[in-house]
Amino acid sequence: MKSLWNDDEAANFSGDINQRVYTSRLLGREPALVLHGGGNTSVKIREMNLVGEDEDILYIKGSGWDLEKIEAAGFAPVRLDHLIKLAKLPQLSDAQMVNELRTQMTRASAPTPSVETILHATLPYKFVDHTHSDAIVAITNTASGHERIRELYGDTVVIVGYIMPGFDLARQCAEQFAREATPKTLGMVLLNHGIFSFGATARESYERMIELVTRAEEYLKSRKAWDISVRATPPDNFSPRDIATLRRDISTAAGKPMIVARTQNERTAGFISRPDIQRLSQQGPATPDHIIRTKRAPLLGRDVASYSAAYRAYFERHAPQAREPKTMLDPAPRVVLDRELGMLCVGNTAKDAHIVRDIYERTIDVIQQAEALGGWVALPEKDLFDMEYWDLEQAKLRSGSKAPMFTGEVALVTGAASGIGKACVESFLARGAAVIGCDINPEITTLYKRADFLGIVCDVTREDDIANVLRAGVAAFGGIDMAVLNAGVFPGGNRIESLSTADFKRVLDVNLNANLSWMRELHPYFKLAPRDGRLVVLGSKNVPAPGPGAAAYSASKAALTQLLRIAALEWGMDGIRVNAVHPDAVFDTSIWTPEVLEARAKHYGMTVEQYKRKNVLKTEVTRRDVAEMCAEMCGPLFAKTTAAQVPIDGGNDRVI
């Protein structure tokens, strides 16, 4: 590992706090050191308070901040003297510790200080860095981990046996450091956990971390335990319906819809193909800090029921020994390893599933390095249980905010690159859904850069394209729960006597036949939806009130409406509800250019604003209005409604 320190960059970060920000970000750039909020950094500063008194303040990374993107506001300022006094107490519960940390902050708006705050306070250095280095974890997760660390570092590090994060760990580290530290000491290794470095400056602490981790990496290399990942060609013939079935089973075990993201590459395929995969994968995570997101052990194969039963048994074995009553976390896996489907990562959201993926991909390397070094050995089950059912994590679960309506669910939107379709994407994302957006416009692929959106180019008249969308969408999120069939064409006015058969068929191909294909192919996934499937079809005012010159369009939308009525009859037994919205005069879409609006308004002897509100309610209907209706029709308000045709037109006198 190389130091990323850059004098020119560092010059932009003046002062101790900003230097702390800079080197924290350098650590955060290294996935082999920290991942998704892992790791910790701090700095001790003497400051004058409001009444003119000097105080020693520990600034430590606050909860919820990621080192890679941390800012000065992400550090919680805590009075150092009080922390030192706390470290001398014989005992301190988690709840008491959190209360003391919060009440001793000098800025009420600061994030909650890390649970390792007292530990950082006891180390007699201005700057302290802590990471979960893969190399360190690989070495310490072996039967002879303590001896190997001593062989590697000699007396330049203090070695502390595994203790769960919190007050007990802080006190143990303080006592050992006071006894064992020498002028040669550069760091401290916590077995099965990570490594600390420290220094008088941010640069010194950071570069000591890089030095210590590099020595660990060189140690692995020297023992042929570095780049030893087994690689295999990943199979590409997976069944999307098998993934959707597995997602349904996982969601049932969890008691809520879950996102299941497929990951398959040469490294994951190689790991899954190992003959000893059962033994290696079922011991536990690389470090207990990862257990909350990746669970105790992955599920091998697809037997979710047996996994859930084993998880319940695991809980029952250890819950009676807990100091306080525990509420069992949902007994559903967060990682599934399957030779045909690949590695599947599970989360409440797509972002959570991606975090699980990133963590377990690192874990795969750590496991294989430790195995090559002398045999992979994870922590005992009791220690894993204590971490998973840690009081502080239980408190987070109890105090968590209510999840958005569609959290864990997946919506598909056709014609999603612009207009009503794009607005539908935004409405579903705002309600917590992961969204598959498809459009013939290539811009769909870059519409949003976020974990919960997948944009795919698709010509809806091509059944191969539809199959590819479903395959990619299910691989990304695990299934499809809801769909808005919005893609369509509105040809220019053409009276029947001049309407060619070819033009008529072209409109029907897009507005009707393509939607039949979507409905046929979506049905199996709707049947597997954890909360039952939901379909919304974009109809038109032209269904109840057609106009001259729109024969092809009106006929296609009327036939589509009849098709959804049949679908409602046929699919009701599967709990699938099918509804339609009939918008009219939605002017904030691409077909309504300022020139067209001006011409139409002039035709009616109106201003543009008057023309936009040419309806019974004298209101303007926007694409967002239509999108919000589509999203709500997939929600609980319409849970007992199917085959409905809802106008969203401000009231049209011809329809009324």
Q: Is the dihedral of CA 205, 206, 207, 208 positive or negative?
A: positive
Whole-number Å distance between alpha carbons of 261 and 272: 16
* CA dist 348 → 258, 321, 341, 345, 449 (Å): 5, 29, 20, 11, 19
The interaxial angle of helices 202-222 and 16-28, nearest 10 deg, is 20
End-to-end, the C-alpha distance of the chain in Å comes to 72
Long-range contacts: 8-13, Cβ < 8 Å, 24+?
10/203
The residues, any chain, with a CB within 8 Å of residue 503's CB and separated by 6 or more, are 491, 494, 552
Catalytic residue among 59, 360, 553, 611: 553
The residues, any chain, with a CB within 8 Å of residue 417's CB and separated by 6 or more, are 437, 439, 441, 443, 444, 447, 455
- The sheet that has 534-538: what strands, in order across it? 453-457, 434-439, 410-414, 482-485, 534-538, 577-583, 645-648
Three-state secondary structure readout of 229-251: CCCCCCCCCCCHHHHHHHHHHHH
| Calculated CA dihedral for residues 271, 275, 276, 282, nearest 10 degrees | 60
CB neighbour class for 45 (10 Å; exposed up to 12, middle 13-18, buried from 19): middle
Is residue 381 within 8 A of residue 314, CB to CB? The reply is yes
Residue 307 bears catalytic tag: no
- The DSSP symbol for 510 reads I
Name the token pair of 155.
Answer: 């007396």
Three-state secondary structure readout of 516-558: HHHHHHHHHHHHCCCCCCEEEEECCCCCCCCCCCEHHHHHHHH
Q: Is the dihedral of CA 212, 213, 214, 217 positive or negative?
A: positive
Residue 201 C-beta-side C-alpha neighbours within 13 Å: 8
Locate tokens 């990746």: which residue?
294
Whole-number Å distance between alpha carbons of 171 and 100: 16
CB neighbour class for 186 (10 Å; exposed up to 12, middle 13-18, buried from 19): buried
- The sheet that has 54-61: what strands, in order across it? 75-79, 54-61, 40-48, 127-131, 194-199, 187-190, 157-160
Strands (E), 381-540: 410-414, 434-439, 453-457, 482-485, 534-538
Whole-number Å distance between alpha carbons of 27 and 217: 16
Please give the positions annotated as active site.
553
